[in-house]
Structure 1
Amino acid sequence: MIVPLGEWVLRQACKDAANWPGHVRVAVNLSPVQFRSPSLTHTVISALADSGLSAFQLELEITESVLLTDSETALATLHHIKGLGVRIAMDDFGTGYSSLSYLRLFPFDKIKIDQSFIRELGDSKDCAAIVKAVVDLGSSLGITTTAEGVETTNQLDQVREHGCTEIQGYFFGKPLPFSHVEKLLRKGSPSQSR
């Protein structure tokens, strides 16, 4: 069921975001099963065309596990989708296989540092060192780094100090129903100024 469900989510997200300001992106997580579907590229093209959403406004998030099996096909799919102008993010970086070769083989637009590292920033020197290393790596490669799961002022201060280029988490807001998103966009999100 994940392939048709994932296709519906992608199409709905594109449709919902089509009227948002041009600088605002919508991110959609792809499951490994959905990613391996031979119709994925066609689905992305179709979802963009049907909704009128600019490819630049769509960001697809994958986990490292999609690259573990048949990485040549996976990389070809990623290159094709990126060639459309869609941004590609590696989600939950650091929790899986974390092969740095993936960062050489594919030009990811974003690395999302898993919240498990952010959660322990104040208590663990190891987590701080990992976050700093990933941010430095991203900076050197020209890749945006996003700290996931920021919930406290202390965490916010630390990820800023380490140089994360984007921050997400409950500190800025909790998940909202779609009916509240456009109101928030009209008002201006706190994350736009941070």
Structure 2
Amino acid sequence: AFQGCGWKDTALVPTCVLNTMMGGGASFSAGGPGKGMYTRLYQNILNRHGYVQAASVFNAFYNDTGLFGIYGAAPADGMGQLVAAVCDELKKMQGAISDVELARAKNQLKSSLLMNLESRPILFEDIGRQVLTYGARTPPETLVAQIEAVTAADLNAVAAKMLKTAPSVIVHGDTTSVPRYDLIAKQFA
């Protein structure tokens, strides 16, 4: 995981689009066929490495900072390969992003936002969080416009800034095939 942006950072919306573009999931997940199949982690890790049980991006926002990373699960003998694949995908965030990929990520994010706001408990929580964080509520139409305004260059800039920070690496279970921290961190130096 890398240091991300906070709630009040101008990179918040591009970070959310990047999160959606990276996506991911599990080798078997509920939700019907095709769920998340076009995200980078699904296409480049789950579909190409049959031993991987899960690969998902996660994002946590706080007042002045955040956390952006990838969670992965694999059998012990595949962990070294999984770490290498995850590092490759993180580095590729700074590279080419097609118009189709960008449009898909923005559409998924807008859809998720608007569908979630149809639930009263989520709507009330959203209003409360925005008022406490920003002092006012941002209308959904404004958020949709902000999502639409995101460019591939915005995503590349967010990724480049994150990847300049020192990574945090957490491993649970058998670590014998996991590269040492210094070797992982060196890939982003």
**TM-score category, normalised to shorter length:** under 0.3
> Which fold has the larger relative contact order, with Cα–Cα distance below 8 Å and residues 6 or more apart in sequence?
2
* TM-score after normalising by structure 2: 0.25
* TM-score after normalising by structure 1: 0.24
